[in-house]
Amino acid sequence: MSVADALWRFPSAMMAWRNLGRNRMRTALAALGIVIGVVAISSLGMAGVALQQQATSNLGSLTNQVSVSAGQDSDYDGVTEEQVEEIRSIITDAEVIPQKTNSTTVSSRGQEAYVSVTGVTDAAALYDVSRGTAPERLQTGALISNSTAQQLGLELGDPVEYDGHLYRIRGFIDSGSGFGPGGGRGELVVPISGLADQDHYDSVTIIADSGDAATETADTLEEHFNTDGRDEEEVLRVSSYASVQENIGSFLNTLQLALLGIGGISLVVASVAILNVMLMSTVERRGEIGVLRAVGIRRGEVLRMILTEATFLGTLGGLVGATCSLAVGAVMFQVVAGDPAGVLQWASARYLLYGFAFAVFASVLSGLYPAWKAANDSPVEALRG
Amino acid sequence: MSVIELDDVVKRYESGAQTVTALKGVDFHADRGEMVTIIGPSGSGKSTMLNMIGLLDTPTSGSVRLDDHDVTDFTEDELTEERRTNLGFVFQDFHLLPMLSAVENVELPSVWDTSVDRRDRAIDLLKRVGLGDRLDHTPDELSGGQQQRVAIARSLINEPDILLADEPTGNLDQDTGRTILEEVTRLKEEENIAVVAVTHDEQMLDYTDRTVRIVDGVIQS
Ligand SMILES: Nc1ncnc2c1ncn2[C@@H]1O[C@H](COP(=O)(O)OP(=O)(O)OP(=O)(O)O)[C@@H](O)[C@H]1O
Ligand SMILES: [Mg+2]
């Protein structure tokens, strides 16, 4: 028994398959509409995921941090020792790291680099080093950013000068992250004693366990320092990156919805194309369907046959579309995140499934009316043509 | 006993303000093993009458009896069921499905009945109409006469009691028409069925057992 004979056991599927094969060009064009719709919806969805992951990985551990500096209502030009103690007394479950900052020009072998200078004791908590070490109690040496070290040809153990003191380089700071203190500029980290002529701390970084804890810490500090009775004042400026991430996150969510919306519209357009194709082909086959009804094929069977056609179209278009989207997604992840395999994780791969499911659903939906119309056509009228 | 009977059948078509009465009280019957030919001028109501006999349409008034059962008030689904089990149709322009082979076309009326395997009967019927060597040909690979033979085989697949044919030789030349009529006559006797045919073809009268003439919706006796 041949494949065709076996298929014949499922007459609706068999008839639908043969009908689609009759006008391959039209079938291909209808499926192409679906393919475009699926590619649009899947790849726009995956683009959203790629952007979101990119943004999150750029912010990295910074989302756990709260940064405190002097506010506009402060009597001082920095955060005072007393205020740091006060912060330490109310924030017990997080590290509190006061810093003093300045900027200077570092020179070596005739090369100069403008860097920001940070005086801090607990360097280990704030900095990741690619070579050397970041001590928990920085008292003698210095850390310098990778890029600056390369620019000046500095090695571990080389001396750098700041404010008349020499410091030996103990580690190179990983300058991978784009955000964070210092921005893209080079950075020099020295013991806090190196900036002793500055009375107050320029900022205090508090490192919490999580983004949520950081937000909570920020709220606690706001309430403690910036609420005097019923008045709002800003003694300390408290900022947390968690809220930045939240903002970016909600922006990206909106963006993703908009992208999916655009994809959805193209799928609606594709469904209308299928509706049109199905309607055309049932109108064309009106006489044939009349014969089917005359020889005793039930209305439900005619309905099923045409719905099966629409389902095949949707499945075909959906499969091709999902395959194309996978390729598009891999390219997108390569460009945005530098890793094409990222497309395979569920967060983005599910958009392939959504696209496919939507394609089949939309096709069946747009097959309903033509199928219903063909099934309920009077056989006499249909045969008269 | 008649296998199909029309009793005082009236069929009116209302389109807007105009009313056309295509059948004006028609009585008709056909028996097993009998070939009845309906003749009459164009527009006299022949096709309309055949549609009543074929349970494709329902009368405005009067009654239709199939095998002594009143089917006048049957629903569309019940009529479909009766058509599949008791009636066979042959059309002027064959109406084979172009994407199916000859044997698949013959099987078509029975394929949704998964309980029965009609492949053997389909092959047998095609052999009996002389197309045993054309089983896997599609309609566009067959001549008009061959296509009509496939259509006849298809009409008999479900072992009907009645074969209905609206101008079955209308699209065929004289000689081919004659062989088709011989085929139908032979099968009518072999299967003991009633054949009701509408025609303009004079030579069909050579094969018919009885002729019914209709003029302007009224049977002339
Ligand atoms: N669906 C319809 N709506 C309106 N009038 C109809 C309809 N079907 C048939 N008629 C009318 O009923 C009459 C009988 O038509 P019918 O098709 O039965 O004629 P006929 O005898 O088969 O003619 P011919 O030999 O040309 O095929 C005609 O006047 C026709 O216009
Ligand atoms: Mg007619």
Which pair of tokens denotes residue A137? 């109690």
* For the CA of A380, the nearest ligand: 1
Looking at residue A230, its pLDDT comes to 66
- Our CA dihedral for A362, A364, A367, A369, rounded to 10 degrees, sits at -90
**pLDDT confidence band for A164 (50 / 70 / 90):** confident
Looking at residue B127, its pLDDT comes to 94
Looking at residue A184, its pLDDT comes to 58
With a threshold of 0.95, tell me whether the complex ipTM lies above it: no
pLDDT tens-digit series, residues B20-65: 999 999 999 999 999 999 999 999 999 999 999 999 999 999 999 9
Which pair of tokens denotes residue B195? 């054949």
For B137, list phi and psi in degrees, rounded to 5: -80, 145
Length in residues, chain A: 385
Nearest residue in chain B measured CA to CA from A297: B109
Looking at residue A220, its pLDDT comes to 87
The C-alpha atoms of residue A133 and residue B3 are separated, in whole angstroms, by 104
Going from the C-alpha of A325 to that of each of A264, A270, A332, A338, the distances in angstroms are 15, 16, 10, 18
The C-alpha atoms of residue A350 and residue A237 are separated, in whole angstroms, by 42
Which residue type is seen at B27? D
Which pair of tokens denotes residue B136? 């896997």
- Is the CB of B114 inside 8 Å of chain A's CB atoms? yes
**pLDDT confidence band for A180 (50 / 70 / 90):** very low
DSSP assignment of A110-143: TEEEEEEEEE-S-HHHH--EEEE---SS-SS-EE
Higher pLDDT, A58 or A115: A115
A27: exposed, middle or buried (Cβ count in 10 Å: 0-12, 13-18, 19+): buried
Which pair of tokens denotes residue A303? 């309905």
Looking at residue A310, its pLDDT comes to 93
pLDDT tens-digit series, residues B135-154: 999 999 999 999 999 999 99
Pocket test for ligand 1, best of B13, B14, B28 (most atoms within 8 A of CB): B13
DSSP assignment of B113-150: -TTS--HHHHHHHHHHTT-TT-TT--GGGS-HHHHHHH
- Is the CB of B75 inside 8 Å of chain A's CB atoms? no
How crowded is residue B41: how many other Cβ atoms within 10 Å of its Cβ?
12
Cα of B90 vs centre of ligand 1, distance in Å, is 18
* Ion ligand 2 nearby residues (CB, 5 A): B 47
Percentage of chain B lying above the pLDDT 90 cut: 84
Percentage of chain A lying above the pLDDT 90 cut: 26
- Is the CB of B81 inside 8 Å of chain A's CB atoms? yes
Task: Evaluate if residue A354 carries a pLDDT over 50.
Answer: yes
Looking at residue A121, its pLDDT comes to 87
Looking at residue A176, its pLDDT comes to 53
A207 closest CA partner among A362, A87, A77, A298 = A87
Looking at residue A198, its pLDDT comes to 87
Higher pLDDT, A180 or A257: A257
Task: Evaluate if residue A177 carries a pLDDT over 60.
Answer: no
Percentage of chain B lying above the pLDDT 70 cut: 100
- Report whether residue B19 contacts ligand 1, using a CB cutoff of 6 Å: no
Within 8 A of B167 by CB-CB distance, chain A residues are: none
Task: Evaluate if residue A174 carries a pLDDT over 80.
Answer: no
SS3 content of chain B, % helix, strand, coil (to 5): 35, 30, 40
Looking at residue A179, its pLDDT comes to 43
pTM for this model (two decimals): 0.75
**pLDDT confidence band for A43 (50 / 70 / 90):** confident
The C-alpha atoms of residue A346 and residue A333 are separated, in whole angstroms, by 14
Beta-carbon separation of B97 and A296 below 8 A: no
CATH superfamily of B2-219: P-loop containing nucleotide triphosphate hydrolases (3.40.50.300)
Looking at residue A61, its pLDDT comes to 64
Pocket test for ligand 1, best of A377, A383, A384 (most atoms within 8 A of CB): A384
Looking at residue A55, its pLDDT comes to 76
**pLDDT confidence band for A163 (50 / 70 / 90):** confident
Q: Average pLDDT in the A363-385 region?
A: 92
How high is the mean pLDDT of chain A?
Answer: 86
- Is the CB of B19 inside 8 Å of chain A's CB atoms? no
Task: Evaluate if residue A358 carries a pLDDT over 60.
Answer: yes
- Report whether residue B46 contacts ligand 1, using a CB cutoff of 6 Å: yes
The C-alpha atoms of residue A242 and residue A250 are separated, in whole angstroms, by 12
Cα of B100 vs centre of ligand 2, distance in Å, is 27
Atom of ligand 1 nearest to the CA of B214: 21
DSSP assignment of A252-313: HHHHHHHHHHHHHHHHHHHHHHHHHHHHHHHHHTHHHHHHHHHTT--HHHHHHHHHHHHHHH
Higher pLDDT, A40 or A185: A40
The C-alpha atoms of residue A158 and residue A188 are separated, in whole angstroms, by 13
Which pair of tokens denotes residue A341? 């395999």
Task: Evaluate if residue A253 carries a pLDDT over 60.
Answer: yes
Looking at residue A187, its pLDDT comes to 87
Residue-range domain boundaries for chain A:
9-58+247-384, 62-241
Sheet holding B210-215, edge to edge: B87-90, B162-166, B194-198, B35-39, B210-215, B218-220
Closest by Cβ to A21, choosing from B84, B99, B108 = B99
Helix (H) or strand (E) holding B186: helix B174-191
Task: Evaluate if residue A222 carries a pLDDT over 90.
Answer: no
Can you say how many angstroms the Cα of residue A109 is from the centroid of all Cα atoms in its chain?
44
Within 8 A of A301 by CB-CB distance, chain B residues are: 112
Evaluate whether A297 touches A10 at the Cβ level (below 8 Å): no
B16 phi-psi bin (left φ>0, alpha ψ -120 to 50, beta other): left
Q: Whose CA is nearest to atom 22 of ligand 1?
A: B47
Closest by Cβ to A296, choosing from B57, B80, B104 = B80
pLDDT tens-digit series, residues A201-218: 999 989 888 777 888 888
- Report whether residue B199 contacts ligand 1, using a CB cutoff of 6 Å: no
Q: Whose CA is nearest to atom 14 of ligand 1?
A: B45
Point out which residues pair with B198 in neighbouring strands. Answer: B38, B166
Q: Average pLDDT in the A102-110 region?
A: 82
Within 8 A of B92 by CB-CB distance, chain A residues are: none
Which pair of tokens denotes residue B75? 């629903």
Cα of B188 vs centre of ligand 2, distance in Å, is 23
Looking at residue A293, its pLDDT comes to 95
The C-alpha atoms of residue A103 and residue A210 are separated, in whole angstroms, by 31
Q: Average pLDDT in the A273-294 region?
A: 91
Looking at residue A60, its pLDDT comes to 64
Q: Average pLDDT in the B79-108 region?
A: 94
The C-alpha atoms of residue B4 and residue B21 are separated, in whole angstroms, by 22
Looking at residue A3, its pLDDT comes to 65
